[in-house]
């Protein structure tokens, strides 16, 4: 209930009166029935009602970006980035006094996921997160979560079509989106539940994303562009191949031309890939007992089948969770940590055995922090 619509009289407000209140008040506090819930103030924007504190945080991020573009010296940029680092405080464990109110749409905005899409290091992480989310039924999500999900997906589509980065992951998201859209249309008779205006906006956004996917084509480089990949020395091509951490990329590269296929089939490539994903103890258990020639591609496939791939090894950058602040943040950008800002607290941690590094948060673990 909104605090503006409480009256001492017993007569209820009409729908037209409530609509007038919503239209005339650009900001409005919200009072929850749960006494543990934090009181929130909502602001009406062009995209709908948003939390005031989230909007203020987003403005700080935009202010940081504009300052970085116009920075005059290194000291100013360091001061700006340290004071405006994308982070989000969460409730890890609920108690009788403190209830867990972790909201996915708020975390997405505070962690600046839409700008993270344009970072090549974080792009695969965002795609994996969307891959998990699209697997959920959209009707079970809140309206704010639906808008945040589709806004991220549209940003991914726009970045993938312009930069031609990770087309395989983008096409997988498109296939899931088509299946989800068809399932939602046939889920219940009479149309989806909830706001009709919201679903019209979601449908229009889904159609835009699917249209961008249907027009997406990988363009070949210009014939006058030099040097080309195959013009590089073989040692350089081998170093590029050794940087690939996904066996599917190696298989696809081997199908491109004979020169790259020869490099991909080298034992060193698959040996380094096995050492990257698995521990020496795991490799020792799978290696053949005889001391003959070892086929490292077969060893890698056996390790992958036995142990599976470590999710933390599949992304160049992931979200991290600070143990002391209960704060999610990007590892490369950092966050305002109490262990760094409070000398007394840092001294007590050093006496207790040192500061514990933040733990990585894979996409599946990130979604478990929220009730979907």
Question: Does residue 181 lie in a domain region?
Answer: no
What pLDDT, on a 0 to 100 scale, did the predictor assign at position 8?
41
Question: Does residue 257 lie in a domain region?
Answer: yes
What pLDDT, on a 0 to 100 scale, did the predictor assign at position 76?
44
Q: What is the mean pLDDT of residues 122-128?
A: 91
Structural domain count, the chain? 3
Long-range contacts of 237-246 (CB under 8 A, 24+ apart): 237/263, 238/263, 238/266, 238/269, 241/269, 242/268, 242/269, 242/272, 244/273, 245/273, 245/276, 245/277, 245/313, 245/314, 246/314
Q: What is the mean pLDDT of residues 347-367?
A: 83
Question: Does residue 71 lie in a domain region?
Answer: yes
Whether residues 291 and 252 fall in one domain: yes
Q: What percentage of the chain exceeds 90 in pLDDT?
A: 22
Question: What's the whole-model pTM score?
Answer: 0.74
- Counting Cα atoms < 13 Å in the Cβ hemisphere of 366 gives 29
Question: Does residue 328 lie in a domain region?
Answer: yes
337 SS3 class: coil
User: Which structural domain range is residue 287 located in?
Assistant: 229-313
What pLDDT, on a 0 to 100 scale, did the predictor assign at position 19?
56
Question: Does residue 189 lie in a domain region?
Answer: no
Question: Does residue 141 lie in a domain region?
Answer: no
Whether residues 302 and 357 fall in one domain: no
Whether residues 22 and 63 fall in one domain: yes
Whether residues 39 and 57 fall in one domain: yes
Question: Does residue 130 lie in a domain region?
Answer: no
Rounded to whole angstroms, the Cα distance separating 369 from 347 reads 30
Whether residues 287 and 324 fall in one domain: no
Whether residues 331 and 309 fall in one domain: no
The alpha carbon of 158 is separated from its chain's Cα centroid by a whole number of angstroms, namely 16
What pLDDT, on a 0 to 100 scale, did the predictor assign at position 188?
55
Question: Does residue 308 lie in a domain region?
Answer: yes
DSSP H helices, 120-226, are 123-134, 143-163, 167-185, 196-214
Element holding 322 (H helix, E strand): strand 319-322
Whether residues 8 and 64 fall in one domain: yes
Give residue 239's pLDDT band: very low, low, confident or very high (50, 70, 90). Answer: very high
Whether residues 302 and 326 fall in one domain: no
Whether residues 308 and 267 fall in one domain: yes
| Window from 6-10, 23-27, 138-142, 157-161 with minimum mean pLDDT | 6-10
For residue 10, pLDDT beyond 50: no
Domain edge (last residue) among 63, 84, 105: 84
Angle, to 10 degrees, between the axis of helix 167-185 and the axis of helix 123-134?
A: 20
The 3 state secondary structure assigned to 358-372 is CEEECHHHHHHCCCC
Whether residues 291 and 328 fall in one domain: no
Domain edge (last residue) among 39, 61, 84: 84
User: Taking the CB of residue 228, how many other CB atoms lie within 10 A of it?
Assistant: 9
Whether residues 24 and 70 fall in one domain: yes
């Amino acid at each position: 209930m909104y605090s503006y619509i409480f009256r001492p009289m017993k007569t209820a407000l009409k729908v037209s009166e409530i609509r007038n209140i919503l239209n005339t008040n650009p900001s409005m506090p919200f009072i929850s029935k749960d006494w543990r819930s934090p009181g929130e103030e909502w602001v009406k924007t062009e995209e709908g009602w948003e939390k005031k504190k989230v909007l203020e945080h987003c403005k700080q991020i935009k202010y940081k970006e504009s300052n970085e573009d116009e920075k005059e010296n290194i000291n100013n940029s360091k001061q700006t980035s340290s004071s405006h680092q994308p982070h989000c405080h969460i409730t890890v464990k609920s108690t009788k006094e403190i209830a867990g109110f972790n909201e996915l749409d708020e975390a997405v905005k505070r962690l600046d996921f839409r700008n993270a899409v344009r970072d090549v290091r974080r792009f695969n992480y965002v795609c994996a997160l969307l891959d998990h989310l699209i697997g959920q039924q959209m009707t079970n999500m809140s309206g704010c979560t639906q808008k945040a999900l589709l806004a991220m997906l549209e940003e991914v589509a726009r970045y993938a079509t312009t930069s031609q980065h990770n087309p395989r992951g983008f096409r997988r998201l498109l296939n899931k989106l088509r299946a989800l859209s068809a399932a939602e249309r046939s889920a219940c008779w009479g149309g989806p539940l909830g706001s009709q205006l919201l679903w019209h906006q979601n449908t229009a956004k889904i159609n835009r994303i699917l249209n961008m996917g249907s027009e997406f084509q990988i363009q070949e480089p210009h014939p006058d562009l030099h040097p080309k990949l195959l013009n590089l020395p073989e040692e350089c091509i081998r170093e590029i191949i050794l940087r690939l951490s996904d066996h599917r990329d190696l298989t696809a590269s081997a199908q491109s031309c004979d020169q790259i296929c020869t490099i991909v089939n080298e034992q060193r490539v698959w040996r380094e890939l096995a050492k990257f994903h698995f521990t020496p103890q795991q490799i020792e258990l799978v290696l053949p007992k005889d001391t003959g020639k070892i086929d490292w591609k077969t060893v890698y496939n056996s390790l992958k089948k036995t142990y599976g791939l470590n999710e933390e090894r599949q992304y160049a950058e992931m979200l991290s969770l600070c143990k002391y602040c209960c704060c999610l943040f990007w590892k490369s950008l950092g966050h305002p940590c109490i262990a760094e800002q409070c000398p007394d607290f840092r001294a007590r941690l050093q006496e207790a055995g040192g500061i514990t590094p933040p733990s990585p948060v894979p996409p599946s673990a990130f979604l478990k922090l929220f009730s979907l």
